[in-house]
Structure 1
């Protein structure tokens, strides 16, 4: 996919609406000036080429409704082709709506797709949703799930809903439960793991998360659901939301998640793959949170994907 560069021919003035209020200036500019490096955006703000209400502001300035943002002429990279979103993903998104109202959507995210495009990934869940909802003025991820994790994913349709839902996440008002299949027989009924996690540690060029005293606090409750001859089905309830938290905490128990190619055991994963487990067995089953407008308690669940449920039917219970 080739990229062409165009120059905005003149100064542009943008009036901030409710959809963009309370957003940081840098994030607003990054979204509007797609293809412009962040370093360039920070530089034009620092030099005063970007102004809000005719005055200089910092990149951390939070926009208010009615603000007038001055954007100078700047080279913007534009894709010469339309963004490609696989038909399979589009279909899964159409069929995977678990709940929707004026403020947000909960979708049953399919495994194998990143939540957003990025390095080496042309498109993801949010790009796919924007493609099938061209009339939507605002669609933003409230939180994230790993590429190979399926299940409940929250997407805001209004900035006011995004702010409120993210506040719920920060204040631990969102209760998340996952189903995970751990390799081997885990002997405990329940266990709270509180090992702190440090991310972006390089291991052979790969960025991983490790347990470290210098990491951030993390807490996961594991509850055994079923024991099989070679695996254990558990419910994992993370109190914190650290990167790869459930995966690393499960591995710390000596029972990594089946199919986890980053924190699991290669030979074990190969054995399960031969039995039909083609992906990591981690599924975001339930989200519980207050409605951002009414405050009513919401509980939304995503059924375990049929192929994973079918595989469990063939596991030998003990």
Structure 2
């Protein structure tokens, strides 16, 4: 299989392993080295890239770096020999078009369906971002501005310019935007509005699965919960993220005794099986509303995505049988 060409040394045979050096310009500056390599080394397994970083085969300015290193303009990245698919091999990532809620020359916001990962990794070969890049081969820049869990549906922001990406990251880090979700939970929620501020800590199960729990040693997390409708044994809630921790809404609600219906990590198998028989074969968590200033113009934006039909059907059922 063909390998990366060598940029500073001419080698006659294409199949001889070689190193290349890439100079970082303004467009790549600020990007994490792992994300940079994933774009540069299309087709190379993600695990191989991280191993190359850990082993010191990937270097910046001749020095070892971690996967979270952010590139600077003028950096020189050493890219080790990494095998790529042959040009005549079939495309491994099928292109896909997702419902577009908003798009201009800086960002595109799509309505992600449940069951689709936002990116490849952790046993998933590809996700929304890889499929969009495959569907838009002429797009010079497409990067996730934030993430949604695989089983969460709704609004997902993707930057089309690095400046927009960095500004969106700054806004979310500084709490400049508001992200609203809807969740159906097990239990009769009472309070009209409740602030949940339990710190969250990541941990790994014996099988290596990532989990999150409420723990005093964890990072600060803040979720604002509002009651939307009560269905007896179940409640429809609104959840506003004021921080963006992994599994934040899921863990905050589960820790309070109100797990999200269909949650395979923090919920009940019996509840999940019951709702699967009713046609809900997913977690009932939906990113329904974004309130953010445009990353380049500063104009206020309010974007919405209605609950998917399968979720609406479940609410209709609960209304009839509560």
Q: 1:105 to 1:203 in 2, by over 3 A?
A: same
Q: 1:225 to 1:286 in 2, by over 3 A?
A: same
Kindly provide the CA deviation profile for residues 237-260 of structure 1, in whole angstroms up to 9, marking residues without a partner as x.
Answer: 121110000001111221110000
Is the 1:5–1:75 Cα contact (8 Å) retained in structure 2?
A: no
Q: 1:311 pairs with 314, 318, 322, which one? A: 314
Kindly provide the CA deviation profile for residues 16-35 of structure 1, in whole angstroms up to 9, marking residues without a partner as x.
Answer: 44421333556534532453
TM-score computed with the length of structure 2 as normaliser: 0.85
Q: How far off is 1:209 after superposition?
A: 0.6
Q: Does 1:302 align with 2:305?
A: yes
Q: Report the equivalent of 1:23.
A: 31
Q: For 1:254 and 1:175, how far apart are their aligned partners in 2?
A: 25
Matched residue count: 300
Q: Report the equivalent of 1:6.
A: 3
Unpaired stretches in structure 2, ≥5 consecutive residues: 9-19
Q: Report the equivalent of 1:251.
A: 254
Q: Report the equivalent of 2:14.
A: none
Q: How far off is 1:58 after superposition?
A: 6.4
Q: How far off is 1:125 after superposition?
A: 0.3
Unpaired stretches in structure 1, ≥5 consecutive residues: none
- Correspondences of 1:138-149 after superposition (within 5 Å): 138-149=141-152
Runs of 4 or more above 6 Å deviation: none
TM-score computed with the length of structure 1 as normaliser: 0.86
Q: For 1:281 and 1:298, how far apart are their aligned partners in 2?
A: 25
Kindly provide the CA deviation profile for residues 67-93 of structure 1, in whole angstroms up to 9, marking residues without a partner as x.
Answer: 373646x32121354444457xx24x1
Kindly provide the CA deviation profile for residues 195-216 of structure 1, in whole angstroms up to 9, marking residues without a partner as x.
Answer: 1111123255432111111111
Q: Does 1:260 align with 2:280?
A: no
Q: 2:76 pairs with 69, 80, 88, which one? A: 69
Q: Report the equivalent of 2:50.
A: 38
Partner-residue secondary structure (3-state), 1:235: strand
Q: How far off is 1:221 after superposition?
A: 1.0
Q: How far off is 1:183 after superposition?
A: 1.2
